[in-house]
């Protein structure tokens, strides 16, 4: 049994609309720290800048004022009830703690204000909210744009990449003039142009087990726009440990998924996918491709779910997985249940701190390819000396139409096991694909079939285009 914290009506907007919250703690100070870590927006309404409890807020343990006990050191235990009692004496009203709207904001958000489910109160909630976007790419772009336009007061963004020309087909937060510029710099300028009232906090770093809790702790909601499994599991676990909602989105080719993982009210990401797929099994967007408009659809759904959580309006995607098929233009919905054996959000969790997520996802556990890879420059020189060397292109035919290395032989990876007879087992072979991942799989297939003189082109045809033949288009 935990300690029950009763949230007064004026402060419920900063605690997800909840009347009561149960927490594990041993003292009032510990309890309030846990409470404001899980609901960051409460902190500035309970504590002054110097860390002291505000003068207009009193705290009671059961029916006794902590000022007559041991104040923050007052012990609490299972079954205790802690009441937060805001005072309105002296003209200070906690009901007015939500930020007010300027005349400019009233005009800007007028189409929100006339919605009964938003109104002035809802717009003030949006202005008070703090949302963290993990990634400023395909999913983060539409989410950031719509959250800023909607008037979310503080938008945090975690990203460490620079804008690349290949991003522009789908990452609408960035433009051609921003190629080569850090994504955070590009995003901040764009969001400030959309809405100068929004505060943008940037974190130019890779999210890791060492910094995730510190970064996420001060935000109310996290929107996950990551493109790799280690970070996705890291975001999930950090949100569970901190009690934050995790607005999830993912995309691949013509399909997308969306949900809200909030362990306090439903399942987490691990309840849906207990273990990650083996490294390399699921291609990235760079290898598998993605329809440019798809992240716009899924990222907009993430923005919508985030806004609904802030407003406390409608039915969220907690406990539901939304599946979108762009080619069929169809939505399907699956019901999600909490996994009673979930190692993070289950009743007997075994993961109580952040772990090494690259190790968990098998990154770095791949076979060693020392001596089995060749650079583009090395291949060019060797091919010139030995014209009989076979360069084997294992990409798909539609990729071969985009760009090709002159003289290479095309056998798609999916066909390779059935076409081994097309190859000379005694010939020197160098496999290549787009960036190098599929060619390593081809190397393994050939080695297992008895081909002894096989290597892979590191960096694929992209490296060939950059370092050897700029006449080969990059894609």
Say what angle helices 140-150 and 183-194 make with each other, to 10 degrees. Answer: 30
Residue 423 near residue 429 (C-beta atoms within 8 A): yes
Taking alpha carbons only, the member of 124, 142, 125 closest to residue 133 is 142
When pLDDT is averaged across residues 81-103 and rounded to a whole number, the result is 66
pLDDT given at position 16: 80
Describe the strand order of the beta sheet including 221-224 as a list of residue ranges. 199-203, 154-158, 130-134, 221-224, 246-252, 255-261, 320-325, 330-335
What is the C-alpha to C-alpha distance for residues 20 and 4, in angstroms, rounded to an integer?
Answer: 7
pLDDT given at position 15: 85
When pLDDT is averaged across residues 420-448 and rounded to a whole number, the result is 94
Residue 285 known to be catalytic: yes
When pLDDT is averaged across residues 382-395 and rounded to a whole number, the result is 96
Distant-in-sequence contacts of 159-164, Cβ < 8 A, 24+ apart: 159/135, 159/183, 159/184, 159/187, 159/202, 159/203, 159/204, 160/204, 160/205, 160/206, 161/136, 161/137
Q: Determine the length of the chain.
A: 475
CA angle 376, 378, 381 (to 5 degrees): 110
CA-CA-CA-CA dihedral for 107, 121, 46, 267, to nearest 10: -110
**pTM (2 d.p.):** 0.73
Per DSSP, the three-state class of 194 is helix
Kindly report, residue by residue over 122-174, the tens digit of the pLDDT: 999 999 999 999 999 999 999 999 999 999 999 999 999 999 999 999 999 99
Residue 87 near residue 57 (C-beta atoms within 8 A): yes
What is the C-alpha to C-alpha distance for residues 460 and 452, in angstroms, rounded to an integer?
Answer: 21
Split at pLDDT 50, 70, 90, the class of 48 is confident
pLDDT given at position 456: 97
Per DSSP, the three-state class of 160 is coil
The active-site residue, picked from 285, 342, 345, 361, is 285
pLDDT given at position 65: 76
pLDDT given at position 365: 54
pLDDT at 93 over 60: no
Q: Are strands 130-134 and 221-224 parallel, antiparallel or unpaired?
A: parallel
Residue 433 near residue 425 (C-beta atoms within 8 A): no
pLDDT at 187 over 80: yes
pLDDT given at position 277: 81
pLDDT given at position 91: 34
Kindly report, residue by residue over 289-307, the tens digit of the pLDDT: 899 999 999 999 999 999 9
The active-site residue, picked from 271, 345, 361, 433, is 433
Taking alpha carbons only, the member of 50, 360, 326 closest to residue 232 is 360
91 Cβ partners below 8 Å, 6+ apart? none
Mean pLDDT score of the chain:
91
What is the C-alpha to C-alpha distance for residues 61 and 179, in angstroms, rounded to an integer?
Answer: 57
Tell me the percentage of the chain whose pLDDT exceeds 90: 78
pLDDT given at position 95: 39
Tell me the percentage of the chain whose pLDDT exceeds 70: 96
Residue 35 near residue 84 (C-beta atoms within 8 A): no
Place of tokens 């003030």: 124
When pLDDT is averaged across residues 180-198 and rounded to a whole number, the result is 97
Q: Which of 50-59, 112-121, 168-177, 390-399 has the least mean pLDDT?
A: 50-59
pLDDT given at position 364: 62
69 Cβ partners below 8 Å, 6+ apart? 61
Residue 433 known to be catalytic: yes
pLDDT given at position 49: 76
pLDDT at 188 over 60: yes
């Amino acid at each position: 049994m935990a300690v029950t914290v009763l949230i007064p009506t004026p402060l419920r907007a900063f605690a997800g609309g909840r009347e009561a919250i149960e927490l594990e703690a041993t003292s009032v100070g510990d309890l309030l720290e846990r409470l404001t870590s899980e609901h960051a927006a409460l902190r500035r309404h309970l504590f002054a800048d110097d860390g002291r409890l505000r003068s207009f807020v009193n705290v009671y343990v059961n029916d006794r004022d902590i000022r007559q006990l041991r104040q923050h050191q007052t012990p609490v235990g299972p079954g205790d009830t802690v009441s937060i009692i805001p005072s309105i004496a002296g003209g200070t009203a906690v009901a007015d703690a939500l930020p007010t709207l300027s005349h400019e904001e009233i005009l800007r958000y007028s189409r929100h204000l006339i919605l009964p489910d938003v109104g002035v109160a809802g717009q003030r909630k949006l202005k008070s909210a703090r949302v963290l976007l993990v990634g400023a790419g395909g999913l983060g772009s539409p989410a950031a744009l719509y959250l800023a336009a909607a008037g979310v007061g503080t938008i945090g963004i975690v990203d460490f990449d620079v804008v690349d020309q290949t991003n522009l087909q789908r990452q609408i937060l960035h433009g051609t003039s921003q190629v080569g510029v850090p994504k955070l710099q590009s995003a901040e300028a764009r969001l400030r142009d959309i809405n100068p009232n929004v505060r943008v906090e940037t974190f130019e770093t890779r999210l890791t087990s060492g910094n995730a809790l510190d970064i996420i702790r001060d935000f109310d909601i996290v929107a996950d726009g990551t493109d790799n499994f280690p970070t996705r599991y890291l975001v999930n676990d950090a949100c569970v440990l901190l009690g934050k909602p995790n607005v999830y989105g993912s995309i691949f080719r013509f399909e997308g998924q969306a949900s809200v993982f909030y362990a306090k009210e439903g399942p987490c990401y691990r309840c849906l996918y207990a273990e990650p797929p083996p490294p390399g099994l699921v291609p990235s967007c760079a290898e598998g491709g993605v329809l440019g408009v798809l992240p716009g659809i899924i990222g907009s759904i993430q923005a919508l779910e985030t806004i609904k959580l802030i407003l406390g309006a409608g039915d969220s995607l907690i406990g539901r997985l939304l599946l979108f098929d762009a080619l069929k233009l169809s939505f399907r919905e699956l019901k999600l249940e909490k996994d009673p054996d979930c190692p993070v959000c289950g009743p007997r969790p075994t993961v109580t701190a952040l772990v090494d997520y690259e190790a968990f996802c098998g990154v770095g556990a791949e076979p060693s390819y020392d001596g089995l890879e060749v650079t583009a420059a090395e291949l060019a020189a060797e091919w010139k000396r030995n014209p009989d060397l076979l360069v084997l292109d294992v990409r798909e035919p539609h990729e071969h139409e985009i760009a090709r290395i002159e003289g290479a032989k095309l056998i798609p990876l999916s066909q390779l096991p059935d076409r081994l007879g097309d190859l000379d087992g005694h010939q020197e072979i160098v496999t290549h694909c787009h960036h190098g991942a599929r060619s390593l799989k081809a190397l393994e297939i050939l080695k297992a079939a008895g081909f002894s003189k096989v290597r892979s082109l590191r960096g694929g045809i992209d490296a060939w285009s950059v370092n050897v033949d700029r006449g080969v288009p990059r894609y």
